[in-house]
Amino acid sequence: MTGALVVLGGGAAGMSAASAARRADPDREIVVLESTGHAAYGLCGLPYHLSGVVPDAESLVSYPPAFFRERRRIDLRLHAEAVALDVARREVHVRTAGGVERVGYTDLVVTTGGTPSRPPVPVPDGTAVHTVRTLEDAVALRALLDSGRVRTAAVVGAGYIGLETAEALHARGVRVTVVERLDGVLTTLDEPVAARVEEHVRVHVELLLGTDAGPVLAERRPDLVVLCTGVRPAAGIAAAAGAATGPGGALLVDDRMRTDLPGVWAAGDCVAPHHRVLGRPAFVPLGPAANRTGRVAGTNAAGGDARFGGVVGTAVVKVFDLEVARTGLTLAEARAEGVAATATDVTSRSRAKYYPGAVPLHVRLVHGAGGRVLGAQLVGREGAAKRVDVVAAALHAGLDVDDLAALDLAYAPPYSPVYDPLLVVAQAAQRELARVA
Ligand SMILES: Cc1cc2nc3c(=O)[nH]c(=O)nc-3n(C[C@H](O)[C@H](O)[C@H](O)COP(=O)(O)OP(=O)(O)OC[C@H]3O[C@@H](n4cnc5c(N)ncnc54)[C@H](O)[C@@H]3O)c2cc1C
C-alpha cells in the first residue's frame, strides 16, 4: 500500500498540492503540516486588509480548515512546524505544542514559501516593528492601526510590497516615509519606467531614495516601522537535507516539480522554476506560479502526471493611482544575462483620444535579435494590467515584433485607441529595427 503523502506548508502552493493530490488519488493519506495557525489564505490581500479595503481578515481565507479536513479528507495540522527532514528514513521532524514528533512519508511536497529578509536595521527602542508576510502579521498590524496610536510610519523598502504597504498606511491617515537604500523604486523595472512610478509615489508620501534607514529612524523616531526588504526562499529544510539549490538559494526542480532528493517534490516561492525567456531556472516568487507549481507537484507526488510549462515573470501592482505591470525581461535584466536587447518606448493612450477619461499609458517593449519579443513594462492610470497579459502570451508563444504588430486586438473607444498601445509600440519597434538593419 502506498504510504502518506506529506506537504510542508499550507500556503497557496501547499494547499494546491494537497488538493491536486486528492484529485489524483482519492484514497491516499494526505497530511499538511503548517507552522502558523492559518492555511489557504491570500497573502496578496494583506495590504488591502491593512488599508480597510478588505475589512474582515477572515475573508482572505480561501477555504476554512474544516473544508479541507471534511470535504477533501486532507489531514491539515496547524501549529505544526517541520524542523528537519530525514530523507533516508523518509521522516519529517515536526515541532508541535506537544514537543517534537516524527511524521513518516512516502512522498513529500515541500512548499515552505518565502521568508522576509530582515536586514539589521537599528530601530529606536519602543518603536513597533512589523513585517507583512503572514495573516498574523497583518492582523497584528491592523489592530495597531485601529488603536489610533500610529501617526507616523517608516516603510523600509520600495519594492512592490513596500509601496502597497505605504499606500495602505497612507489610506489610514498615517504620515508615511518610504526609505530605500537603492536609488530607485521597483527595481524590477528599468530605471526610466520606474522613474514614472517614483514621481507618482512622491505625490502621496515622502520618499527617501539612496538612503540608509538606520539614521533616518534614529532621527525621526516614527511610531511604526514596517520592513519590506524583500523575500528569500524558505528552502532551508530541504537544502539541509541535501536538495540542490539554484538562484537566490531556491530549490531546483524539474518540470514535474521533482527535487533531486528521492520522493521529494517542491513548489511555490521556495523553488526556482524554469523561466521561459531566460531559458534557465529563476526565483520569481509570485502567486499564480505558486498555485500552479503546487498543483503539478501534488499531482505527480500522488502518482499522476503533470508538467509545469514555466514562468515568464509577469507581475502587476497597483501603486496609488497607477497600474504598473511587467513581463519577461527588462532591458537591464536582458543585458545582465548577456542578451543583446533594445528597448522601444512609447506613450500612447488608454482610450480613444476623444473619449472622456483617456490617460497616458507608457509602454516599454524590450526586444532582441531578429525582433524577438523579450519583455514589456507598462505604467498608467489604467490599461496596463490588461495589456501585460497580451505580452505574456506573446512570450509564451515566442512571438517577434512583427507578430505583435499584427495581432487582432479588441477595440472600443472606452477601452483603447483604435491602434492599441501595444500595436503602437510594436510598430515603433519595427521602425527602429528597420533603421538599424
Ligand atoms: C504582502 C504580499 C503581497 C503579495 N501580493 C502579490 C500579488 O499581488 N501578486 C502576486 O502574484 N504575488 C503576490 N505576493 C506573493 C504571493 O503571495 C506568493 O508568491 C505566494 O503566496 C507563495 O505561495 P507559497 O505557498 O509558495 O508560500 P506561502 O504563501 O508563503 O506559504 C508557505 C507556508 O508554509 C508555511 N511554512 C513555512 N515553513 C514551514 C515549516 N518549516 N513547517 C511548516 N510550515 C511551514 C508558512 O507558514 C506558510 O503558510 C504577495 C506576497 C505578499 C507577502
Domains of the chain, by residue range, sit at 5-36+78-114+232-301, 118-227, 315-432
Residue 141 contacts residue 296 (beta carbons within 8 Å): no
Q: What percent of the chain has pLDDT over 90?
A: 96
pLDDT tens digit sequence for 319-339: 999 999 999 999 999 999 999
The yes-or-no answer to whether 118-227 and 315-432 have a common fold is: yes
pLDDT tens digit sequence for 238-292: 999 999 999 999 999 999 999 999 999 999 999 999 999 999 999 999 999 999 9
- Best substitution site from 35, 43, 110 to test ligand 1's pocket, by max atoms within 8 Å of Cβ? 43
Looking at 4, 36, 42, 44, which residue is catalytic? 44
Q: Rounded to an integer, what distance in angstroms lies between the CA atom of residue 299 and that of residue 16?
A: 9
pLDDT tens digit sequence for 170-204: 999 999 999 999 999 999 999 999 999 999 999 99
Residue 380 contacts residue 361 (beta carbons within 8 Å): yes
Q: Is 420 in the pocket of ligand 1 (CB under 6 A)?
A: no
For residue 77, give the amino acid letter: R
Q: Rounded to an integer, what distance in angstroms lies between the CA atom of residue 296 and that of residue 300?
A: 6
CATH code for 118-227? Answer: 3.50.50.60
Whether 129 has a pLDDT exceeding 70, the answer reads: yes
Is residue 270 part of the annotated active site? The answer reads: no
Whether 383 has a pLDDT exceeding 70, the answer reads: yes
Site of grid cell 505544542: 97
Instruction: Check residue 436 and give its pLDDT.
Output: 86
Q: Is 325 in the pocket of ligand 1 (CB under 6 A)?
A: no
Class of domain 5-36+78-114+232-301: alpha beta
Nearest to 69 by CA among 22, 107, 108: 22
Nearest to 283 by CA among 274, 294, 291: 274
Integer-rounded Cα radius of gyration of the chain: 23
Q: Is 11 in the pocket of ligand 1 (CB under 6 A)?
A: yes
Q: Is 9 in the pocket of ligand 1 (CB under 6 A)?
A: yes
Check: pTM over 0.85? Answer yes or no. Answer: yes
Give me ligand 1 centre to Cα 84, in Å: 20
Name the residue at shortest CA distance from atom 19 of ligand 1: 286
Q: Where are the alpha helices (DSSP H) in 52-159?
A: 65-66, 135-146
Architecture of domain 315-432: 3-Layer(bba) Sandwich (3.50)
Q: Burial of 126 by CB count in 10 Å (0-12 exposed, 13-18 middle, 19+ buried)?
A: exposed
pLDDT tens digit sequence for 131-173: 999 999 999 999 999 999 999 999 999 999 999 999 999 999 9
